[in-house]
Structures are given as structure tokens and as C-alpha cells.
Amino acid sequence: MNASLQDAVLHHGDFFRQWQFVLDGSIDLAICDPPYHILHEVHPWDRKIDFAVLSWILSRLLTPLGQVALFCSGKMIPEVVSEFGKYFEFRYPEVWQKPSARVVHKDRPRPDVEFVCVFHRRKTKKDDRTFNWEDIAIQGNSYIRVNRNLENTNLKTLKREVDTNKSGLRHPSSVVYFPNRPAMTEEEKRFAEHPTQKSLAHMDNLIRLLSHKGQTVLDPFMGSGTAILAALRAGRKAIGFELESKYFLMTENRLQHETAQGTLI
Ligand SMILES: C[S@@+](CC[C@H](N)C(=O)[O-])C[C@H]1O[C@@H](n2cnc3c(N)ncnc32)[C@H](O)[C@@H]1O
């Protein structure tokens, strides 16, 4: 199922001033790729985000089973988890390993990982939380495996005598590999000249994992509109905000180009 451009509502402006255009309790998944405030000397848009305010706003906008997937660097995690923890429960961090990262200093490794922190509202039941792992799972061979040593247990479940995997689908890992901008194809970069552009494959993966078809995805910091495009392609509705005219127009142009290509209805 493809969505149409009519399923996207794009706002040109500051999310923190305009968020009330979005109905309370209407968002199923917020994909947030905020500025990290490390490039502000070269990119004025890379301002410091107030995560206390962001988490409060999202607590208003999300449905009772709504979830948040927030990109951040390792250094940002303590602040993000502490602020979001007032309204949400931190479920897991996804580790995004990037193929291309330059050495910044000889006192540390190459900064080739970023994180996506996934949150759900407090007190939701485990079985009610959207996690469509089969939709993004890698296909392997099916197997039936006899466990000879049953004493070896993890913390909560006893080992089964026989493990069966009929479908061959592999449960996803917390570590994912998707290109960052320098490693993307020219085709992917063509309509999205944003220095921190995320890959469509990565956004698609998060959106299909953490929301259902027909649901609504919010991107408060859409940049070149990658999450918006991925949401529409995956049959979700999308709402986006972008402060900078240049990037707002880039997103509009990117979606229009997609329509011209006939990918969206
Ligand atoms: C990290 S980039 C997003 C990149 C995007 N995921 C992509 O694939 O192109 C963050 C974007 O948030 C925008 N931004 C910063 N503060 C904002 C605000 N208060 N409201 C809306 N957009 C904002 C910046 O202009 C920037 O384009």
C-alpha cells in the first residue's frame, strides 16, 4: 500500500512554537532526529534542543500506545533519558553503526556509532507495544535445534529442550548498519542535500518496526524529509516540521519528485 501526498502535512516553522497545530493524542510514532549542537559553528540550524520541553510536548501529542524513536549521540543519552524519563519509559537503545566516520582526535576511536533511543508511555503492557519485528526481519534458514545443556539459562527463561524456527526469520539485533550521508548513493543524495541526512532504509526500518500501516508518524525536525518520505512509502500518514526555508522546500521538492516518478499515488 502506498500513501499519497495528501497523507503528509508539512509545517514550515519552529516545532516548539507550532506544535499545537497537531491534535493531542493523535501521533502513533514520533521519529526525532534533532540537531546535536556540535555543528553550530558551521550550521546555524544546529541549535541546542530543550529535551525537557520536547518530551513534555510529545507526551501531549502521542496516543496512549504512542512511541518515540530519537536519534542521538552517546554523549546526549544521559540528558535525553533523564528528560524523557519523566513521561516515558526508555525501552532500548538501537546502536547505528556508520560505515563512514572521520577520526576527530587521537584520544578516542572514530565516532562511527550513533544511537536511536526508543521510548513508550509508562505503564503500557509489553504485548501492546508495537514492535513488528517480522516486518523487518532478515530471512535465514529454518531450523530445529536440540539443546543438550539445559542448565544454561538466561535471567528469566529456562532453555527449551528443542528450539524451532519454522519461518527462518531472525529476531532483529540492537546493532544496525545503514549508510550515513557520505556512504549514500548519488541517487539517494540527489534530492536531499542535508549534511545530516539519514538513509531512507534506516527510517523505513524504524517506521515499519514501531508503527502500523495507516498510523501517523510525526517528525518535528524533518530536515530533507527522509522520515516523511519513508512514512508515506510505508503506507503511514506523516506530519513534519522544519524551521529552515531551504530544507522545508527541499522536503517539498523531494516529495513532489517522488510523485512525478509515480512511486506515490
Ligand atoms: C538533524 S537534522 C534532520 C535531518 C533529517 N533527518 C534528514 O534526513 O534530512 C535537524 C533539522 O531540524 C531543524 N530544526 C532545528 N530546530 C528546529 C525547530 N525548533 N523546529 C523545526 N525544525 C528545527 C534543522 O533546521 C535541521 O534541518
The Cα angle at residue 102 between residues 98 and 106, in degrees rounded to 5: 120
Q: Identify the residue whose C-alpha is closest to ligand 1 atom 15.
A: 45
pLDDT lower than 50: segments of the chain:
1-2, 265
DSSP E strand stretches across the chain: 8-12, 27-32, 62-72, 88-97, 113-121, 138-139, 143-146, 162-165, 169-170, 175-177, 216-219, 237-242
136: closest CA among 68, 66, 204? 204
Distance 166 CA to ligand 1 centre (A): 43
226-233 helix and 245-260 helix, angle to the nearest 10 degrees: 30
Position in ligand 1 atom list of the atom nearest CA 224 = 9
16: closest CA among 252, 220, 264, 239? 220
Distance 249 CA to ligand 1 centre (A): 13
Superfamily of domain 5-137+172-260: Vaccinia Virus protein VP39 (3.40.50.150)
The confidence score (pLDDT) of residue 136 equals 96
Position in ligand 1 atom list of the atom nearest CA 16 = 19
Distance 140 CA to ligand 1 centre (A): 37
- Best mutation site among 242, 250, 254 for ligand 1 pocket (most ligand atoms within 8 Å of CB): 242
Between β-strands 169-170 and 138-139, what pairing exists: parallel, antiparallel or unpaired? antiparallel
Distance 241 CA to ligand 1 centre (A): 8
The confidence score (pLDDT) of residue 265 equals 46
- Best mutation site among 49, 116, 219, 221 for ligand 1 pocket (most ligand atoms within 8 Å of CB): 221
- Best mutation site among 19, 45, 218 for ligand 1 pocket (most ligand atoms within 8 Å of CB): 45
The confidence score (pLDDT) of residue 153 equals 66
Please, which residues have CB within 8 angstroms of residue 217's CB and are 6 or more apart in sequence? 27, 28, 29, 30, 31, 207, 211, 227, 228, 231, 236, 237, 238, 239
Position in ligand 1 atom list of the atom nearest CA 14 = 20
Residue list, ligand 1 pocket, CB within 6 Å: 14-16, 33, 35, 45, 47, 192, 194, 196-198, 220-221, 223-224, 226, 241-244, 247
The domain segmentation of the chain, as residue ranges, is 5-137+172-260, 141-171
DSSP letter string over 225-265?
Answer: THHHHHHHHTT-EEEEEES-HHHHHHHHHHHHHHHHTTS--
The confidence score (pLDDT) of residue 1 equals 41
51-61 helix and 77-84 helix, angle to the nearest 10 degrees: 40
Distance 216 CA to ligand 1 centre (A): 19
Cα(94)–Cα(80) distance, integer angstroms = 14
Which residue's entry shows cell 556509532?
113
229: closest CA among 210, 257, 209? 257
Q: Identify the residue whose C-alpha is closest to ligand 1 atom 3.
A: 223
The confidence score (pLDDT) of residue 149 equals 77
Amino acid residing at 151: E
| Residue 110: φ, ψ to 5° | -60, 135
Is residue 74 classed as helix, strand or coil in its secondary structure?
Answer: helix
The confidence score (pLDDT) of residue 2 equals 47
Distance 248 CA to ligand 1 centre (A): 9
